[in-house]
Amino acid sequence: HTQAAAGVAGVIKMVEALRHGTLPRSLHIDAPSSKVEWGEGAVELLTEARPWPQQADRPRRAGISSFGISGTNVHVIVEEPPEPTAPESLWPDAAADGDVWSEEWWREVTVPLMMSVHNEAALCDQARRLRADLLAHPELHPADVGYSLITTRTRFEHRAAVVGENFTELIAALDDLIEGRPHPLVMRGTAGTADQVVFVFPGQGSQWAEMGDGLFERSSVFRETAHACDAALRPYLDWSVLDVLRREPDAPSLDRVDVVQPVLFTMMVSLAATWRSLGVEPAAVVG
């Protein structure tokens, strides 16, 4: 089962159909239902892919329905985007591809691979599967694997994490986890329901020049949230939060109280959005 990705396959299919301008054929319709009058109305089953005509007065649109076994029903309407334009970048060397991590940055960090299961015995089984997947796909980035394990899988009581800067270290740590040997880069334990995350936002005095530069370059979530905060604050300010962060020549000083408060607010909201995009959800916020 695809867990958190359940239902998204149809969305991906239609997004790709919009991108390529092609209506894909319907699968597994060797014997269409006899309870439907297929010759009447405008609904038909596609036995072969066909071009998706472009209308001059409206964009292409598609509807996708997903029906969960628990009774949750979802319908999504997707529409083709306007013709792409060159992305605006806050910084000259900011990542333009929208990835949370830049190619260069993930190579410099230590990556945790998280695992969680219902019981202790299943932990080794999951570690074996993860090890096999890593060996079968050496082209994967460690940060991408770690990100997916954190954000797309259900979290259970029994947990373990292996830490490493590359696949060699991660495989070695997984081997020791599977064999039950101690390893400095392996952590395991049981998650308690009382342990929750709280975001603490600092007040005035925590600012410094060039704060947020790295995240502006590497995190599209941080960058987009900062832009949204700037747009929301513009009606109440005669200056731009982004100009202060970019240290534009005509931007006001960060030492001013009336400047530092909106700038810190923007930083904290953008940081929170970045953590949440990585699967860290706060139970409360203070500050």
* pLDDT tens, position by position, 130-147: 999 988 988 888 888 888
d(CA 223, CA 270): 7
Number of H helices, E strands in the chain: 9, 9
Give the closest residue to 13 by CA, choosing from 22, 4, 43, 3. 22
* pLDDT tens, position by position, 13-57: 999 999 999 999 988 888 888 888 888 887 888 889 999 998 888
d(CA 110, CA 143): 9
* Domain residue limits, the chain: 3-79, 103-190, 198-286
Helix H, strand E, coil C: the string for 167-219 is HHHHHHHHHHHHHCCCCCCEEEEECCCCCCCEEECCCCCCCCCCCCHHHHHHC
For residue 232, what pLDDT is reported? 95
Class of domain 103-190: alpha beta
Q: Is 129 exposed, middle or buried (0-12, 13-18, 19+ CB in 10 A)?
A: exposed
The fourth-level CATH superfamily of domain 3-79 is Thiolase/Chalcone synthase (3.40.47.10)
* Res. 76 pLDDT band, cuts 50 70 90: very high
For residue 98, what pLDDT is reported? 44
Q: Topology of 198-286 in CATH?
A: Malonyl-Coenzyme A Acyl Carrier Protein; domain 2 (3.40.366)
Give the single-character DSSP code of 127. H
- Whole-model pTM? 0.46
Give the DSSP H/E element, type plus range, for residue 117: strand 111-117
